[in-house]
Amino acid sequence: MRRWASTVTVVTMRAGEQIHGLTATAFTSVSMNPPLVLVCIQNDSRSDALLREGRCFAVNFLTEDQRELSERFAGRIPVADRFEGVPYQVAVTGAPILTQALAYLDCTVAGAYWGGDHTIYLGLVEAAGVLREGAPLLYFEGSYRRLAIPDGREAG
């Protein structure tokens, strides 16, 4: 899967007063009508438990200059401190939206399915928005990458 280029996202969620987020590239669009997406979350993880309880999540698309934010939510910062100093707003569903992200999708859980060592969460998009201009942060062959246009210039 290292040869698969992916957009880097931070999936955020809320269950009661608990908020949580994780960096994820296991995200894809499923349907336009109704608008459905999916995220894959490791079984028996904190994220899995909170999604089962809270039944909502947001997909925050990162810009190419947000590597540090990606690493923060990938586990380089303790779980309790991940949102410290990170501005966010509360979405329609209650999930946190990272206000400095490129764009977001706010979702309710429409289904959860077995996928080996992960659970595939199907999300119904309740709201979406573009928060700023820029190019997406990509991940390819174990490294962060920038989008380039065919003549070799970087996008953005």
- Chain segment 36-95, per-residue pLDDT in tens: 999 999 999 999 999 999 999 999 999 999 999 999 999 878 888 899 999 999 999 999
Could you tell me if 38 and 24 are in contact, meaning their C-beta atoms sit under 8 angstroms apart? no
154 belongs to a structural domain: no
Q: Please check whether residue 106 lies inside any domain of the structure.
A: yes
Q: Does a structural domain hold residue 147? A: no
User: What's the domain range around 30?
Assistant: 6-140
Measured from the Cβ of residue 1, the count of other Cβ atoms closer than 10 Å reads 6
Whether 155 is in a domain gets the answer no
In a domain, 98, yes or no: yes
CATH assignment of the domain containing 79 = 2.30.110.10
Task: Count up the domains in the chain and report the number.
Answer: 1
pLDDT in tens, 100-130: 999 999 999 999 999 999 999 999 999 999 9
Report residue 64 as tokens.
């190419």
Residue 105 lies in a domain: yes
Quickly state the pLDDT bin for 153 (edges 50, 70, 90): low
Query: What is the CB neighbour count within 10 angstroms for residue 32?
Result: 8
